[in-house]
Structure 1
Amino acid sequence: MKTAVENLAEDAVTVELLDIEGTNFPVVSGDDDDGDDHDHDHGYGKGDPHGWLDLENGKLWLAAIAETLSQVDPDNAVIYDANAHAAEAEIDFLVQQLEARLAPVQGRGHIVFHDAYGHFQAAFDLPGLGAISLSDAVRPSAARLSELRDRVVSSEAVWVFSEPQFDTALVETLVDGTPARSGVLDPLGSSLASGPTLYPMLLENLGNSLADCLTP
């Protein structure tokens, strides 16, 4: 993505979504795998860069994108504004659906592959019990895996989630011989087609995956 942006025309307008005023950009959980202080691979230091998994951020960004487009193309400002409001309404409806879908599994502990889901977990009161890795590029230490394994063995964590982009071997190691089960979460919507439905479908799929897996 960074390379694609760098290859745009010199006069192209770019918007740093995470820098938009009001964006929820919390510090990552700090659930370190080995006690070392290392930055997240996405380049935002200790902040959680997975802001698109916060639906309120999504609404905020829609307004900012519409405003930017209107400045560049004022003749179509009314259309951009209408599209943004329609998308915001769609997000509000999706929140209601996800709240109903996820309410029955609140309190069900789980472990995720990497520290990407804090926004989503907080929004729907889902108790994340840690991440296998805090960075896309850093392999967890043996001590970290042992700690997570203890949580799984004690049944504190009932599901451990991998991601489509990564090897499932670590997840299988954690759940092997325990009552816990493994599932898949996709924070990028890697199997979805680009277009106006990608964002709501990504969030809906994420919520459905959590609900399906965590339902006793």
Structure 2
Amino acid sequence: MPDGVVQLLPTGFDPERFTPRPGDLAVMQSGDLLLRAGAGFDDWATLLARRVQRADLATASVDLSRGIALLEVKGRAVEASDGHAHGSANPHWWLDPVNAKTAVASIAAALLAADPAREAVLSARLDAFNASLNAGLARWSAALAPYANQPVLAYHNSFPYLARRFRLDIAATVELREGVSPGPARLAEIADIARSKHVRLLLVEQADPGQLTPALTRAAALTPVALPSNGEAPGETYVAMMDALVARLADAFAKVGA
């Protein structure tokens, strides 16, 4: 097994707009295990893996969305696309910390299958992660509990798992199609929704805040909140990302008097 993890996707880059670089093929050629978010989120990785002439890598590709109760499921298989449009379901499952626990268990199982001699180490690390995650979940739930059922808008359809776990109400999503900027009519419609439902916050991804966010926030008196939904700091852990996301969201709710 390799001594470490090689991250194909650059930190802070929008995964749905990523195009593999020439050197990524060589990196994948030398790897023992490929971990994918799945659900159409990183089809570029599937396409890249097909170019690697190794049958063992194909069998060692782990779709971390397996075993997770996905939202917005479409009745079709995931097909590799241009790397942006959502595939068989909404793929942003990791913004529900309970789903992250399932995914990390899948990672541990794959690592154990690849190297059974590391069972004790893997078990200890999994237990430590779960303990940290459980403590974080209690912390995040307490921080967002005062804002349960508060309506928010989302620019991109990235936050339904977050909303379900912490009981937020996403009144509308600005983009009608992933990656397609809304026109004037859609912006006017969203502004009407914001006013009628007394929405104060617009959730945007830190990596992709959206070109038309200023026009929309002015029209509907919204406060944009850029959330670090994909891990934007080098070496950042999942728990640290969620700490930052929840702190930023709770602070925004408090400032607008929700």
TM-score normalised by the shorter chain: which range applies? 0.7 to 0.9
Is there any run of 5+ residues in structure 1 with no aligned partner, and where? 29-38
Partner of 1:24 in structure 2? 69
Is there any run of 5+ residues in structure 2 with no aligned partner, and where? 1-8, 10-18, 30-53, 74-80
Please state how far the C-alpha of 1:211 moved relative to its aligned partner.
0.7
2-side partners of 1:100 and 1:198: how far apart? 21
2-side partners of 1:160 and 1:5: how far apart? 38
Q: Is residue 251 of structure 2 the alignment partner of residue 212 of structure 1?
A: yes
2-side partners of 1:177 and 1:137: how far apart? 21
SS at match of 2:155: strand
SS at match of 2:136: helix
Q: 1:211 to 1:136 in 2, by over 3 A?
A: same
Q: Is residue 241 of structure 2 the alignment partner of residue 202 of structure 1?
A: yes
Q: 1:43 to 1:167 in 2, by over 3 A?
A: closer
Q: Would the aligned equivalents of 1:185 and 1:209 in 2 still touch at CA under 8 Å?
A: yes
Same amino acid, percent of matched pairs = 24
Q: Is residue 151 of structure 2 the alignment partner of residue 109 of structure 1?
A: yes
1-side partners of 2:171 and 2:92: how far apart? 18
Please state how far the C-alpha of 1:174 moved relative to its aligned partner.
1.7
SS at match of 1:114: coil
2-side partners of 1:6 and 1:106: how far apart? 47
2:188 paired residue among 146, 159, 183: 146
Q: Which has the higher contact order (CA 8 A, sep 6+)?
A: 1
Q: Would the aligned equivalents of 1:152 and 1:175 in 2 still touch at CA under 8 Å?
A: no
Q: 1:207 to 1:144 in 2, by over 3 A?
A: same
Q: Is residue 134 of structure 2 the alignment partner of residue 89 of structure 1?
A: no
Q: Would the aligned equivalents of 1:161 and 1:171 in 2 still touch at CA under 8 Å?
A: no
Please state how far the C-alpha of 1:151 moved relative to its aligned partner.
2.1
Q: Would the aligned equivalents of 1:161 and 1:184 in 2 still touch at CA under 8 Å?
A: yes
- 1:63-142 correspondence to structure 2 within 5 Å: 63-142=105-184
Q: 1:58 to 1:134 in 2, by over 3 A?
A: farther
Q: How many residues align?
A: 202
SS at match of 1:15: strand
Partner of 2:37 in structure 1? none
AA paired with 1:23? Answer: I
Question: Could you state the TM-score of these two structures normalised by the residue count of structure 1?
Answer: 0.82
Note the alpha carbon deviations across 1:29-73, whole angstroms, 9 max, x for none.
Answer: xxxxxxxxxx99645435100111121211111111111111111
Q: Would the aligned equivalents of 1:152 and 1:174 in 2 still touch at CA under 8 Å?
A: no
User: RMSD of aligned C-alpha atoms?
Assistant: 2.6
1-side partners of 2:161 and 2:193: how far apart? 22
SS at match of 1:24: coil
Please state how far the C-alpha of 1:108 moved relative to its aligned partner.
2.3
AA paired with 1:200? Answer: V
2-side partners of 1:48 and 1:177: how far apart? 28
Please state how far the C-alpha of 1:84 moved relative to its aligned partner.
1.0
Q: 1:60 to 1:40 in 2, by over 3 A?
A: farther
1-side partners of 2:164 and 2:111: how far apart? 31
Q: 1:113 to 1:179 in 2, by over 3 A?
A: closer
Partner of 1:49 in structure 2? 91
Partner of 1:34 in structure 2? none
1-side partners of 2:82 and 2:139: how far apart? 31
